[in-house]
Structure 1
Amino acid sequence: MAEIVIRNLRKTFGDFTAVQSSSFRIEDGEFFMLLGPSGCGKTTTLRMIAGLELPSAGEVYIDGEEVGQKPASQRDIAFVFQMFALYPHMNVRRNIAYPLVSQGMPRAQVRAKVAEVAGILGIEDILDRPVGGLSGGDRQRVALGRAIVRNPKCFLMDEPLGALDAEFREHMADELRALHDRMGATTVYVTHDQLEAMQMGDKIVVMNHGVVEQFGTPQDIYDKPATMFVADFIGSPPMNFLRFHGSVATGDAHVRLHHQVLAVPALREPFDGGMVYGVRPEHVRLSDAAGYRGEIIAAEYLGTTQIVTLKTHNGEVKARIPSDQRARMGETVGLDFNGATVTLFDSQSGRAIRSDLNEGVLSHG
């Protein structure tokens, strides 16, 4: 398998810039997620790694070799598409075998490799069936088998589970991650689904409008969002944003919102101007003792928890609280925030204001 390094990668189509100076490193054997909304540049980035698109600028290294201007056939990668891209006139066995046959591998070796891959994927019983009559899950396994059989340096996957229904997609995500762990493969996986990325990935790049917003582990990206976009895109419900204007000094561990002092991680640089107080719903507690107040305007029951929406002077706040905790419509209650989990943002740039919590997260990408 192989390490993949992206340096200042850029792609333009006429006057449109699809990817803007992206840089990140994918470690050997890592399951790496390219995450973002439609049109953010993640698939274009994947296609440049694959050689299906040539970069306008920048470098792509696979296993230490610069391959940015090489065609896909010279990169030793396997690409798995969302719509499977199987050959409908071939059965399962011939679909999986095709890459080896096209390379001129002896028939006995082809049969052995196909049998090995079918055993890994648990599809031995459908090898002689036509692909047209298979379920979506089985067709995806066949597509994976065709990629695995060549034993390439890395696997590139463009939303391979997107065509499956929600329940089966979750099952296949578990299977795919388990397969990755057994093979020790380097895998780059494109998705717009934040839950899929958090469930499967070792590392995640979050992209928006062709820009890498943040690069890190799922926990770092969730706990230490580098931008308001990341904080809003990751999490369900997303992070709460309370807007205010204030001034903070280096080392300050509090801010003032509507005449109340609220805790934040110690700031590593001074700031004066428009700010956003970011806190996730699970870090909001309803407390009669808290001075910062909000009016309950909605409650959504979710079984063991409920999502309560409150109206405050600085905007709406959602709190994830136990389902048995009383939450009456129209009641005004105190809101207590876990200051150690708070992120402050510059309201103009949307970037996190550096603190002990987010130190280091802005340097990626």
Structure 2
Amino acid sequence: MAEIVIRNLRKEFGDFTAVQSSSFKIEDGEFFMLLGPSGCGKTTTLRMIAGLELPTSGEIYIDGEEVGQRPARKRDIAFVFQMFALYPHMNVRRNISYPLVSQGMPKQQVAEKVDEVSRILGIGDILDRPVSGLSGGDRQRVALGRAIVRDPKAFMMDEPLGALDAEFREHMAEELRALHDRMNATTVYVTHDQLEAMQMGDKIVVMNHGVIEQFGTPRDIYDKPATMFVADFIGSPSMNFLRFHGQVHAGSNTVVVHHEELEVPRLQEPFEGDLVYGIRPEHISLSDGGTYRGEVIASEYLGTTQIVTLNTGNGELKARIPSDQPVRAGENVGLEFHGAAVTLFDNQTGRALRSELNEGVLSHV
């Protein structure tokens, strides 16, 4: 397997810039996620790493070699597509063995490799079945088998679970991560599903409009969002935003939001202007005595928790609270914010202000 380094990668299609000066490093053996909404540039980035698209500018290093202008066949990369891309006229065995046969590998060695891969994927009992009659999950395993059998330097996966139904997609995500761990493979995986990225990834790049918004571990991405876009895109429900105009001082751990003093992590630099107070639903508690108050609009029961929607007079908030805590529509309740988990943003740029919470996170971008 291999380390992959991306430096100032850019891709233009005529007047449209799909990827803008992206830089990041994928460690050897890492499960790396490219995450973002449709059209953000994540698939284009993956295709450039794989050699299916050549970059307009920038460098791509795989295992220490610069490969940015090399065709895909000279990069030793295996690609797994969303729609499987299997040969319908071949059975499972011939689909998996095809890359090896096309390379002229001896028949006995091909048979041994196919048997090894089928054991890893648990598909030994369907090797002689036509792929046209297989379930979506089995087709995905065959597509993975065809990629694995080559022993490539890295695997590129473009939303490989996107065609599966929700329940089976979650099961296959667990299987895919377990397979990755057994093989210690370098894997680059594109998805628009934040839960999939958080569940499977060692590191995540969040992209938007061709730009990297943040690069870090799933925990950093969730707990320490570098921008309002990341804070809004990650999490269900997403982070709450309270907009206000104010002044904060270096070393201060409070701000005044709509005439109420609220706690924040200690800020490293002073700031005055239009701010956004960001707080996730699970970091809001309902109480009788809170001075910042809201009116309950609705409650959504989710088993162990409930999502309560509140009107504060300065916008709606959502709070995730225990399901056994009684609330009723129209009730006026106090809100307590867990200050240590708050992120303050510059409303003009959308970027997080440096604090004890997000120290070091912005340096990744």
What TM-score results when the alignment is normalised by the length of structure 1? 0.99
The question of whether the paired residues in 2 share the 8 Å contact of 1:258 and 1:313 is answered with no
Describe how 1:1-365 pairs up with structure 2 within 5 A. Answer: 1-365=1-365
1:359, 1:57 → 2: CA distance? 31
1:324, 1:79 → 2: CA distance? 48
Post-superposition shift, 1:326?
1.3
The question of whether the paired residues in 2 share the 8 Å contact of 1:80 and 1:158 is answered with yes
AA aligned to 2:246 is G
AA aligned to 2:189 is Y
Post-superposition shift, 1:258?
1.8
Post-superposition shift, 1:249?
1.0
Aligned identity (percent) is: 82
Q: What SS does the aligned partner of 1:290 have?
A: coil
The question of whether the paired residues in 2 share the 8 Å contact of 1:244 and 1:314 is answered with no
2:92, 2:228 → 1: CA distance? 46
Post-superposition shift, 1:314?
2.5
Which deviations, in whole Å up to 9, do the C-alpha atoms of 1:273-295 show, x marking residues without a partner? Answer: 10000000000000112111111
Which deviations, in whole Å up to 9, do the C-alpha atoms of 1:228-278 show, x marking residues without a partner? Answer: 000000000000000100001111100001221000000011111100000
AA aligned to 1:208 is N
- 4+ residue runs over 2 A deviation: none
Q: What SS does the aligned partner of 2:362 have?
A: coil
Q: CA RMSD in A?
A: 0.6
Post-superposition shift, 1:132?
0.3
AA aligned to 1:225 is P
Post-superposition shift, 1:22?
0.5
2:67, 2:122 → 1: CA distance? 34
1:214, 1:323 → 2: CA distance? 33
AA aligned to 2:160 is P
AA aligned to 1:272 is E
Post-superposition shift, 1:313?
3.1
Which deviations, in whole Å up to 9, do the C-alpha atoms of 1:144-196 show, x marking residues without a partner? Answer: 00000000000000000000000000000000000000000000000000000
Q: Which runs of 5+ in 2 are unaligned?
A: none
Post-superposition shift, 1:72?
0.3
Which deviations, in whole Å up to 9, do the C-alpha atoms of 1:311-343 show, x marking residues without a partner? Answer: 113311100001111111111111000000000
